[in-house]
Amino acid sequence: MQRFVELYAALDGTTSTLAKVAAMETYFRAAEPADAAWALYFLTGRRLKRLLAPGLLRPLALEATGLPDWLFEDCYATVGDLAETLSLLASAEPGQHDPSLGHRALSHWIEDHILPLQGLPEEHSRRQLLDWWSRLPRQQVFVLSKLLTGALRVGVSQTLTARALGKVAGLEPTAIQHRLMGSWEPSADFFNALLDPDAADDDRSRPYPFFLASPLDTPTDRRRPEELGTLGEFQVEWKWDGIRGQLIRRGGETFLWSRGEELVTERFPEIQALAEHLPDGTVLDGEILAWENGHPLPFSVLQTRIGRKKPGRTILKKAPVSFVAYDLLERDGVDRRSVPLRERRAALEAVAGPHFPLSKVVEATDWPALDALRQSSRERGVEGFILKRLDSAYGTGRKKGSWWKWKIDPLTVDAVLIYAQAGHGKRATLLTDYTFAVWRDGALVPIAKAYSGLDDGEIRELDRWLRRHTRERFGPVRSVEPEQVFELAFEGIRRSSRHKSGIAVRFPRIARWRRDLAARDADTLEHVLELVSAEEKAAEAVRTAATEAHSPTESSS
């Protein structure tokens, strides 16, 4: 446990890629395979199911510390993270640590102490936690609390983790990444096989690592499409608004994986049925879309399917789906990812074309003409373009140079900041989580929460202003003077009975700080509802598109 805690601290304490890789390499070389497997489990973003009732930790902390409720809440509001607050207040004092407990193996902690808590009476869990807190130092209480609540997040990507493991095993990181895909259980045998150069992969369901496109023309990267080269060097496709997926047909079985490495085959039985027509040894990359009569439906239709593990007849009829294929990763059981895109595309048309809609190539005479087509994205039910070099291999992760996403401009509104609270982790001492509102009949109505989009200097400046202009405090939340205006960007907007404003926005973020506007100049709810109406009209146009000439699957010129 102590070694993993030290690794966590090392990774959390640096932004250097080289330092993070070096810290993981050192850990994996020294750790026992069973411990290394569990560490890898957490480093790759996997989490234990929540093992404790959500309301247990706070009252238990009050019992352990003897603090009054108001003082604990004030400490929590200042720190901004429950696990860190617990580690500061409830851990053992120096000199009272129990080394025999803290230095037990990570695998022993997980398998013999933490996992057995599930399903036990609350009183047993209470006694066990109080005992651990009284014997463990601060950093171990912090990591333990994160593990118990399923909230442990480590600031490393799977790509960096694979790079470190590749150094330990003498393997290419891409090979490690592939072996880490799909479902696996942390064990000594798994870890040993992961690093074994001669290990055979007998898991028919295993997907490949997804290749991701890099964004164009963002606030941090103002690269324009014409700077990438000539249009003829690229295959241009519409950027679909669905769920990225990998469809696998091996050994007479079908497996459908989401980009989040979740096996979703049973949620989409119509895709599973169509996949039976694919040749054995085929893996397709594509998009799961709400789809009807050759046209995509709004993402909101697909959302009705996402949480249903076994949809019934009614939902299957109301929200039909399909798999739009745009790449061929495996054919006849042979990995084809290193083959140039132009060859993979030709093979894709031969293999998937008869059974699945293909993401047809968009044609234009030059970049300005393509940009003009991009402006019609919302009416087509898509998000812009994906630009793929014709000579590109199918890589892993997000590497600039081969694939780019050129999205439609987001919807925007000018809104007033009315509430703020502290962030988490390194931002736990700064007010970085904000609530924004627009005007309705002279009053401000909340419409969105956002926490990204400002740089570090703006965050610190705004934090100082917010603390000086706090009106009231409700636990960790501050009501602030409604004076600061921000331009919010978001991908979509819809009506929602769950929100006071009557609307819900998708992927809100801060586009810029509108220092040039007074609060009275912010947008009104009436204006926001006009955006909703425009989105609804665009969605209806997509639904009722009558000919393929208006479909994103048609080649355009």
pLDDT value of residue 548: 44
> How many residues appear in the chain?
557
pLDDT value of residue 316: 92
Report the b/e string of 272-287 with b at 16+ CB within 10 A: bebbeebeeebbbbbb
pLDDT value of residue 557: 36
**pLDDT greater than 60 at residue 270:** yes
- For the chain, percent of residues with pLDDT exceeding 70: 95
Beta strands in 118-258 (DSSP E): 211-212, 214-215, 234-240, 243-250, 253-258
pLDDT value of residue 555: 44
pLDDT value of residue 218: 64
d(CA 66, CA 69): 9
Element (H, E) at 124: helix 122-135
Residues 6 or more apart whose Cβ sits within 8 Å of residue 257: 182, 207, 245, 246, 248, 263, 264
Q: Cβ-count burial of 394 within 10 angstroms (0-12 exposed, 13-18 middle, 19+ buried)?
A: buried
Bridge partner list, 221? 218
pLDDT value of residue 553: 52
Of 419, 449, 425, 431, whose CA–CA distance to 509 is shortest?
449
**pLDDT greater than 70 at residue 556:** no
**pLDDT greater than 70 at residue 401:** yes
d(CA 315, CA 301): 10
Q: How many CA atoms lie within 13 A of 374 on its CB side?
A: 20
| φ and ψ of 212, to 5 deg | -115, 145
d(CA 76, CA 69): 11
How do residues 59-100 score in pLDDT, each as one tens digit? Answer: 888 888 889 988 888 888 777 778 888 889 988 888 788 888
- For the chain, percent of residues with pLDDT exceeding 90: 58
**pLDDT greater than 60 at residue 242:** yes
**pLDDT greater than 80 at residue 190:** yes
d(CA 201, CA 179): 8
HEC assignment per residue over 476-536: CEEEECCCCEEEEEECEEEECCCCCCCEEEECCEEEEECCCCCHHHCCEHHHHHHHHHHHH
How do residues 469-523 score in pLDDT, each as one tens digit? Answer: 999 988 788 999 999 999 999 988 888 888 888 899 988 999 999 999 999 999 9
Could you tell me if 63 and 130 are in contact, meaning their C-beta atoms sit under 8 angstroms apart?
Answer: yes
- The pLDDT confidence band at residue 545, using thresholds 50, 70 and 90, is low
- Top-confidence residue, 51 or 183: 183
HEC assignment per residue over 64-90: HHCCCHHHHHHHHHHHCCHHHHHHHHH
pLDDT value of residue 202: 80
Of 117, 114, 183, 175, whose CA–CA distance to 143 is shortest?
114
First to last CA, the chain: 61
- Top-confidence residue, 554 or 91: 91
In this structure, the dihedral spanned by the alpha carbons of residues 96, 102, 103 and 108, taken in order and rounded to 10 degrees, is 150
d(CA 501, CA 221): 34
Name the residue with tokens 């030709």. Answer: 346
pLDDT value of residue 193: 94
What would the two tokens of residue 467 be?
């603390």
Of 44, 270, 22, 64, whose CA–CA distance to 164 is shortest?
22
- The pLDDT confidence band at residue 150, using thresholds 50, 70 and 90, is confident
Report the b/e string of 86-115 with b at 16+ CB within 10 A: bbebbbbeeeebeeebbeebbbebbeeebe
Least confident among 16-25, 178-187, 193-202, 232-241: 193-202
- Top-confidence residue, 234 or 308: 234
Q: Are strands 253-258 and 243-250 parallel, antiparallel or unpaired?
A: antiparallel
pLDDT value of residue 233: 95
d(CA 301, CA 543): 11
Output the CA–CA distances (angstroms, integers) from residue 134 to 170, 310, 443, in the order listed: 43, 46, 50
**pLDDT greater than 50 at residue 34:** yes
Report the pLDDT averaged over residues 524-552.
Answer: 72
How do residues 202-241 score in pLDDT, each as one tens digit? Answer: 889 999 999 999 988 766 566 788 888 999 999 999 999 8
- Give CB contacts under 8 A, 24+ apart, made by 43-50: 43/154, 43/156, 43/161, 44/158, 44/161, 44/180, 45/153, 45/158, 47/150, 47/151, 47/152, 48/110, 48/114, 48/115, 48/147, 48/148, 48/150, 49/118, 49/150, 50/148, 50/149, 50/150
pLDDT value of residue 40: 96
**pLDDT greater than 60 at residue 346:** yes
Q: Are strands 382-389 and 234-240 parallel, antiparallel or unpaired?
A: antiparallel
pLDDT value of residue 156: 87
**pLDDT greater than 80 at residue 130:** yes
Output the CA–CA distances (angstroms, integers) from residue 242 to 291, 306, 322, 324, 501, in the order listed: 10, 10, 10, 10, 26
Least confident among 88-92, 101-105, 150-154: 150-154
Among 134-138, 254-258, 395-399, 496-500, top mean pLDDT goes to 254-258
d(CA 439, CA 415): 8
Residues 6 or more apart whose Cβ sits within 8 Å of residue 472: 478, 479
Phi-psi region of 236 (alpha: psi -120 to 50; beta: other; left: phi over 0): beta
Q: What is the mean pLDDT of the chain?
A: 89
**pLDDT greater than 60 at residue 41:** yes
Could you tell me if 324 and 240 are in contact, meaning their C-beta atoms sit under 8 angstroms apart?
Answer: yes
pLDDT value of residue 204: 92
Element (H, E) at 420: strand 411-422
d(CA 238, CA 224): 17
**pLDDT greater than 90 at residue 274:** yes
